[in-house]
Amino acid sequence: MSSQQDFRAATRQWLESNCPESMRTPMVQDEIVWGGRNPSFKNPDSKLWLERMADRGWTCPTWPTEYGGGGLSKDESVVLRQELARINARPALTSFGIGMLGPALLEYGSHAHKLEHIPKIVRGEIRWCQGYSEPGSGSDLASLSTKAELQGENYIVNGSKVWTSYADKADWIFCLVRTDFDVPKHSGISFILFDMASEGISTKPIQLISGSSPFCETFFLDVKVPTANLVGRLNEGWTIAKRLLQHERTMISSFGLASGQSDRGGTTSTVASVEGAAMHYRGDKDSLSDPVLRDEIAQFKIDSEAFAYTSQRSIEESRQGQGPNATSSMLKNYGCELNKRRYELLLKAIGSQGLGWEGEGFADDELLVTREWLRSKGNSIEGGTSEVQLNVIAKRVLGLPDILSISKK
C-alpha cells in the first residue's frame, strides 16, 4: 500500500471517530464558525469539531507544524479534502486569517510575526478583518490615503477604510497604510497589523441594496500601532497587498461562488436549480415549455460545467507546477459573472414570486432568492472588479502593453 493510501485510510478512520454527526450536515448560515476572542458556537458540536481539527492543525492543513499547521503535503491535503467531502463534513473554521492573511504572513512575515499570529489563526482564537478599500480608493487601491506616521516606537494611524467585512466583530486588522506621500503611489504603502480594540477605532455597518450586510465603514483617529507590527519592509507593502489579493480571489472561489456548481446546492427547495425552478413555476412535467429560457439555461449550465472543469484543471496544473499565475483572476472573473447569470436566470424562472421583498405571500426561499440576486451584483465588484481582473489577464497572461503606465503617478 502506498503512503498516500495509508494516509487516506488513517484519515478516514480519524474522521469517522472525531467528526460529530451534526457536523456532517449541510452548513447553516448562522452556524458558520468564525472563531475570535469571543467566539459564538450556536451548535456545541461546532466547538468540539474546531478543537479536534485545530489540534491536528487541519484547519490549515498545509501550513508548517512549527506554527501549528497540519504540515501536510499538497497531495495529502487533497486526500484530506476528499475525505472531508466524502462525509459532507462542514468546515471546522472559516476565517480571513486562513484564507487571506495567513498565507501572506507565511510568505512575508518575520519569524516573530508567524509565531505570534499563525497559531492563533489555526486555532481560530483571533478573528481578522481586512483594511484595504477606502472611500476614495476602490479599483485604484494603490491611491489609498489612510496614513501612518512614525512617533517614537509607534505609528499613529489616521484615516478610514470601507467595505471592511465584519470589522465590528473582528479582533485584529491587517491594514494598508500610506507611509510616504512623496513617492509614486505604489512605493509609499506599508502593510501593518493592529488590534481592533485599540483606542481611536470605530466602525459603522453598511446597508446594501440587498439589506443588511457584514460590511462596515471603519474609522481611525490617532490609533497607536507599535512599529514591530509592520510586516515586511517599510514602504514595500504593495507587494504583500497584491499577493494577498490573489489569495482572496482563491478564497472567494473556494466559498463556492466560483466553483462552477450550476445549482445553489445544499437544499431540496424548488429553487435549488434554475431548470427545476423554471419547470416548477410553469407546471411543466417533462421539459421546459419556454424554449428561449430553456436555451439560456442550457447555455448557462454548459458554461458552468466548462468552468468547473477549468477550476479542476487549474488544481491539477498547480500540482504539476505549470499553471499560469494569473489563473485566480480568470477564475474570479468568470465565476462571479456566472453567479450573476445564475440569479438573473432564477428571476426569469420564478417570475413575480421571486420579486418579493419581505412579509406574507412569499416562501422563505423565494424571499432569499430576491436578496441573493441583489447581493450577487457585488460579486463582480468585490475582490477586484471584473474589469480589473481583465486588466490583470491582459497584462500578466497575454503580455499586452500596460495601459496604466501612463497614469502611474
Q: Alpha carbon of 19 to those of 51, 236, 395: distances in Å?
A: 11, 43, 45
Site string for another protein, 85-114 (x = CB under 8 A): ------------------------------
330 touching another protein, by CB under 8 A? yes
CB of residue 317 to another protein, shortest distance in Å? 6
Binding mask 250-289 for another protein (x = CB under 8 A): -------------------------xx-xx------xxx-
Closer to another protein by Cβ: residue 222 or 387 = 387
Smallest gap from residue 124 Cβ to another protein (A)? 34
Distance of closest approach, residue 327 Cβ to another protein, in angstroms:
8
Look at residues 264, 248, 244, 245 and name the one whose alpha carbon lies nearest to residue 256: 264
Cβ-based nearer residue to another protein, 267 or 312 = 312
Interacting positions 294-313 with another protein (CB under 8 A): 294-295, 297-299, 301-303, 305-307, 309-310, 312-313
Rule CB under 8 A: say whether 359 interacts with another protein: no
Does residue 140 interact with another protein by CB under 8 A?
A: no
Q: Residue 317 interacts with another protein (CB under 8 A)?
A: yes
Stretch that binds another protein, among 6-14, 53-61, 372-380, 399-407 (CB under 8 A): 399-407
**Cβ 309 to another protein, closest distance in Å?**
4
Size of the site for another protein (CB under 8 A): 42
Task: Give the HSE-up count for residue 109: Cα atoms under 13 Å, Cβ half-sphere.
Answer: 21
Question: Does residue 69 come out as left (phi exceeding 0), alpha (psi in the -120 to 50 range) or beta?
Answer: beta
**Do 200 and 223 contact (CB within 8 A), yes or no?**
yes
CA distance 150 to 166: 28
Q: Cell numbers of 378, please?
A: 457585488
78 binds another protein (CB under 8 A): no
Question: How far is CA 11 from its chain centroid?
Answer: 26
Longest Cα pair distance anywhere in the chain, in angstroms? 75
With respect to another protein, which residue has the nearer C-beta, 112 or 398?
A: 398
Asked if 401 interacts with another protein (CB under 8 A), we say yes
Q: Does 363 bind another protein (CB under 8 A)?
A: no
- CB of 207 or CB of 405, closer to another protein: 405
Select the span of 28-36, 91-99, 105-113, 397-405 touching another protein (CB under 8 A): 397-405
As beta bridge partners, residue 189 has: 178, 236
Residues 235 and 180: beta-carbon distance below 8 Å: yes
Nearest residue (CB) to another protein, 231 versus 274: 274
CB closer to another protein, 10 vs 403: 403
Residues that bind another protein (CB under 8 A): 275-276, 278-279, 286-288, 294-295, 297-299, 301-303, 305-307, 309-310, 312-313, 316-317, 320, 322, 330, 333-334, 387, 389-391, 393-394, 397-403
